[in-house]
A and B are shown apart, each in its own frame.
Chain A
Amino acid sequence: DIVMTQSPDSLAVSLGERATINCKSSQSVLSSSNSENYLGWYQQKPGQPPKLLIYWASTRESGVPDRFSGSGSGTDFTLTISSLQAEDVAVYYCQQYSRPPYTFGQGTKLEI
């Protein structure tokens, strides 16, 4: 199974500052057939289901603010929030869907 490891486990960032969350997979999630990275990022606010923010490692889901961006390839990925807003307080998860079981990282709690 592919193990997903996020860092840090928690993060405190000031309003308007940049937040960076890392995700590392134990095996590459880059497809040789289409050159896509099978990696998604999710946001979960308290009491709510998760919300897909980013898929294919760097493609923003419709309606997601452009302050959210994803980068990386192969085994190392990053979610960046360029200018933190109060509504961004949440737990963020990465997930690989390259190879079942489609494992999640342990989550990163983002606070102000």
Chain B
Amino acid sequence: QVLLVESGGAVVRPGGSLRLSCAASGFSFRTYGMHWVRQAPGKGLEWVAFIRYDGTNKYYADSVRGRFTISRDDSQNTLYLQMNSLRSEDTALYYCAKGRGYGDYVAAEYWGQGTLVTVSS
């Protein structure tokens, strides 16, 4: 079965950096696009970023563009989110999700349990 396990969440100071990882198993990772979605405490879902199955296209939310970078390592079946210049408003539970299909325009089919990022001084 599909399994997505996020890691890398931590408490970090404003202006700091963090790299999140998402280990994928149970499906052919290299043939699916992948999403990052976040949820601030007690708030709704906010889509963060998407990477195409072959890594050629990457899309970002306006709130993170220029600060966050999505990437993937198909040899390790792992998705990454490099987060720089972190702000207090980036505090959230970060989920990775498998795209429902291999194209750019796909729903988020399976989700991990999330990893918590707290930005605080």
Contacts and interface: CB of A to CB of B under 8 A. Distances in A.
Interface stretch (B13-21, B22-30, B73-81, B105-113): B105-113
B62 A104 contact: no
A51 B4 CA distance: 13
Interface residues of A, number: 25
A61 B109 contact: yes
B107 A50 contact: no
Interface string A83-112: 000000001010101111111111100000
Secondary structure of the B contact surface, majority rule: strand
A49 B107 contact: no
B95 A49 contact: yes
B45 A93 contact: yes
A94 B62 CA distance: 19
A1 interface: yes
Nearest to B33: A97
A97 B110 CA distance: 15
Interface-centre pick from A55, A95, A101 (highest chain B CB count, 10 A): A101
A52 B105 contact: no
A50 B100 contact: no
A46 B114 CA distance: 14
B102 interface: no
A61 B2 CA distance: 15
Interface of A: 1, 38, 40, 42, 44, 49-52, 55, 61, 91, 93, 95, 97-107
22 contacts: A40-B107, A40-B108, A44-B45, A49-B95, A49-B112, A50-B37, A50-B95, A52-B100, A52-B109, A52-B110, A55-B100, A61-B109, A91-B44, A93-B44, A97-B107, A100-B60, A101-B61, A102-B47, A104-B46, A104-B47, A107-B44, A107-B45
